Structure 1
Amino acid sequence: MTSPYAQAGFGVGFDWGPVGAEVVAGDIVAVVDVLSFTTAVTVAVDRGIDVYPYRWRDETAVAYAEEYGATLAVGRSAAGPGEVSLSPASIRSVTGITRLVLPSPNGSTIAKQLSDSGATVIAVSLRNRRAAADWVRNQIRGGDGGRRPKVVAIAAGERWRDGSLRPAVEDLWGAGGFLSALRSDDLSPEARAAVAAYEAVADELPKYLHECAGGREITQYGFQDDVVIAAEVDASDVVPVLVDGRLFRST
């Protein structure tokens, strides 16, 4: 029996977090973590840096980075001058690296989780939401004429102190912006709700991104530049695709 939560029968779906990524399976899955994993990924790939997503606070990350000859990003608050972290601003200013292991508790963990799912996984933020939608439409048009692939957007969300999911409105906007740009008439009710949320704030998105809980939190920690970068709507034309454990620019 098909799960009632799987959004079966629709070509485009939407859900939240690692559990949603398991339940609402897609052939093409857009992971959305606006503050800040997928924004950081687009900044890195803009600069020719391949990104290796990894689980958060996993002691094996050091060995993993060494295996691939990559730099391991440190935590935002732990980064010193010239060190790279989950902060998109730190990635934008770093020099001399071409591979980056980038752990995060939400978007990166979900991307790593999906790496062996058989789905085509892409990193989507507000910065590249239109480019990603264009890329997906091209993938669908270039198919073999068989079953139309299902597209799913997964909003990463954040975590409360007890570990439960905190739906983050910035990820809802990022997913909705991507789904809106797909211009599909086959959206699930959940996907339609995400599109409506994005379109309600699209004209003033930078303002609301700064004023939402996630934007205020990062600003309070002293990383206001990261919110500014996250609000660069449609500024990037890169579509980072996850292949063999790394996110890199799709050709």
Structure 2
Amino acid sequence: MTAHARGVYKQGASDIRFDWGLEGAGVISSGAGIVVVVDVLSFTTTLSVAMDYGVDVYPYRLRDASAAAFAASKHAILAVGRSEAGASGVSLSPASVRASASGAGPLAKSRRLVLPSPNGSAISKAMAEQGAVVLGASLRNAAAVAAWIDKNRQGQSVAIIASGERWPGDLLRPAIEDMWGAGAVIAELQSFRKITCSPEASAAAAAYLHVKGTLLESLQQCASGRELIEDGHGNEIEVAAEARSSMVVPVLRGEAFTAA
């Protein structure tokens, strides 16, 4: 019998669990009533910005023809690729969503957004299909998410997932910014009351506390941040670094994230 089959990776003795990607989510979510998905650059940061403006967000696994058809069926705006969106379109960029939702852009009228992402969206959808309560967390709303969990957990275990990115070949690339975002939620939970955290969850909280005072600089210098800067999207990082700026808690109800 493999270690996976014995369940040693489930972190089941702990109130708060932490792991990476879709596979990790599938393992540690077993028996957990709440799953928190973290994808700082950029799915859950963009999600939190959309929620601030009252926009409901439909996570979608792929950005393809089926996503366009799905968006049309929901009378929603489809977030396209950053290069396709240009200066005025809506993409996975939180800056583009803020500009569209706060001004006279299409999101200001529609208030519905389909947000494709192979990481954060895919994990959110998969966890909801398993029956978990799924929350979206970023550095912007980690404190609000933690407060909601503290109030509503009722003894349930919580699985916190760092979405990560993908290497060529679709292999998981652990992305440190997602560990920081997950750690922010965990550190906030620890501030409310005594809870049992797995060693993995405790490590994520420690990683966040290490960069808490230098979030913008750390996000700019990590691999994902440097990639965004090199591609001309460095302005997104400033939005991701807006710690404790959002009090909205996105909950995936049916097909869409709405405010708790």
Q: TM-score, normalised by structure 1?
A: 0.94
2:251 aligns to what SS in structure 1? strand
Count of aligned residue pairs for this structure pair: 244
**In the TM superposition, what whole-angstrom CA distance separates every residue of 1:48-89 from its partner, at most 9, and x where no partner exists?**
100000012343111211111111110112113421000000
Indicate the percent of aligned positions where both proteins have the same amino acid: 49
1:158 match: 165
Q: Aligned match of 1:123 in 116, 136, 140?
A: 136
Structure 1 residue ranges without an equivalent (≥5): none
Q: Aligned match of 1:55 in 55, 58, 61?
A: 61
Answer yes or no: is 1:102 the counterpart of 2:102. no
What is the alpha-carbon distance in structure 1 between the residues aligned to residue 83 and residue 10 of structure 2? 38
1:237 match: 247
Q: Aligned match of 2:9 in 5, 10, 13?
A: 5
Answer yes or no: is 1:90 the counterpart of 2:100. no
2:113 aligns to what SS in structure 1? strand
CA contact (8 A) 2:139 2:181 kept: yes
Q: Aligned match of 1:113 in 122, 126, 139?
A: 126
Q: TM-score, normalised by structure 2?
A: 0.91
1:125-204 aligned at under 5 Å gives the runs: 125-140=138-153, 143=154, 148-183=155-190, 184-204=194-214
1:59-74 aligned at under 5 Å gives the runs: 59-74=65-80
Return the offset for 1:163: 1.3
Opposite residue 19 of structure 2, the aligned amino acid is D
2:47 aligns to what SS in structure 1? helix
Opposite residue 40 of structure 1, the aligned amino acid is T
Give RMSD over aligned pairs.
1.1
My pick for the range that moved more, 87-96 or 76-85, is 76-85
What is the alpha-carbon distance in structure 2 between the residues aligned to residue 203 and residue 2 of structure 1? 40
What is the alpha-carbon distance in structure 1 between the residues aligned to residue 127 and residue 73 of structure 2? 21
Structure 2 residue ranges without an equivalent (≥5): none
What is the alpha-carbon distance in structure 2 between the residues aligned to residue 232 and residue 190 of structure 1? 25
CA contact (8 A) 2:63 2:80 kept: no
What is the alpha-carbon distance in structure 1 between the residues aligned to residue 209 and residue 181 of structure 2? 11
1:56 aligns to what SS in structure 2? coil
What is the alpha-carbon distance in structure 1 between the residues aligned to residue 128 and residue 76 of structure 2? 18
CA contact (8 A) 2:75 2:110 kept: no
**In the TM superposition, what whole-angstrom CA distance separates every residue of 1:148-172 from its partner, at most 9, and x where no partner exists?**
2111110000011121111000000
Opposite residue 131 of structure 1, the aligned amino acid is A
Q: List 4+ stretches of structure 1 deviating above 6 A.
A: none
Q: Aligned match of 1:219 in 223, 229, 236?
A: 229
Higher helix share: 2
Opposite residue 259 of structure 2, the aligned amino acid is R
My pick for the range that moved more, 20-29 or 120-129, is 20-29
Opposite residue 6 of structure 1, the aligned amino acid is K
2:115 aligns to what SS in structure 1? strand
2:247 aligns to what SS in structure 1? coil
